[in-house]
Amino acid sequence: GAGVSQSPSNKVTEKGKDVELRCDPISGHTALYWYRQSLGQGLEFLIYFQGNSAPDKSGLPSDRFSAERTGGSVSTLTIQRTQQEDSAVYLCASSLLGQKGQYFGPGTRLTVL
């Protein structure tokens, strides 16, 4: 079946602009995660959605970052007033309820000029 998909694959923006990144999880996966990977670094947790429960936002680095998940499926990560340090690959992952294995999308490479 189809894996996790993300769009756009690349996004170049100017400092101060807002950006929206989209994630389509694997069909039937109730859990959705956003991570950030800076160049040559590990993955940093941002936010986690599970069904209708309140999301775990503990990893969001500032109030410029927000995310929503509509209808329990597609999620959008929004970064307001982008800064150069926001440049990174933003990865989305999903998993089945009760299962720990997370499956990643191809990521969105964000470049803030």
User: Which residues bind to other proteins, rule: CB under 8 A?
Assistant: 31, 33, 35, 41-45, 48, 50, 56, 58-59, 91, 95, 100-107
Between 82 and 95, CB nearer to other proteins: 95
Between 27 and 58, CB nearer to other proteins: 58
Q: How far is the CB of 81 from other proteins (least distance, A)?
A: 26
Tell me the three state secondary structure of residue 74.
coil
Site of tokens 């936002």: 57
Between 92 and 112, CB nearer to other proteins: 92
Letter for the amino acid at 52?
A: N
Q: How far is the CB of 93 from other proteins (least distance, A)?
A: 8
Between 41 and 83, CB nearer to other proteins: 41
CA neighbor of 10 nearest in space, from 19, 1, 18, 2:
19
Q: How far is the CB of 84 from other proteins (least distance, A)?
A: 22
Q: What span, in angstroms and rounded, lies between the C-alpha atoms of 2 and 15? A: 34
C-beta separation of 86 from 78 below 8 A: no
Q: What span, in angstroms and rounded, lies between the C-alpha atoms of 31 and 27? A: 11
Q: How far is the CB of 19 from other proteins (least distance, A)?
A: 20
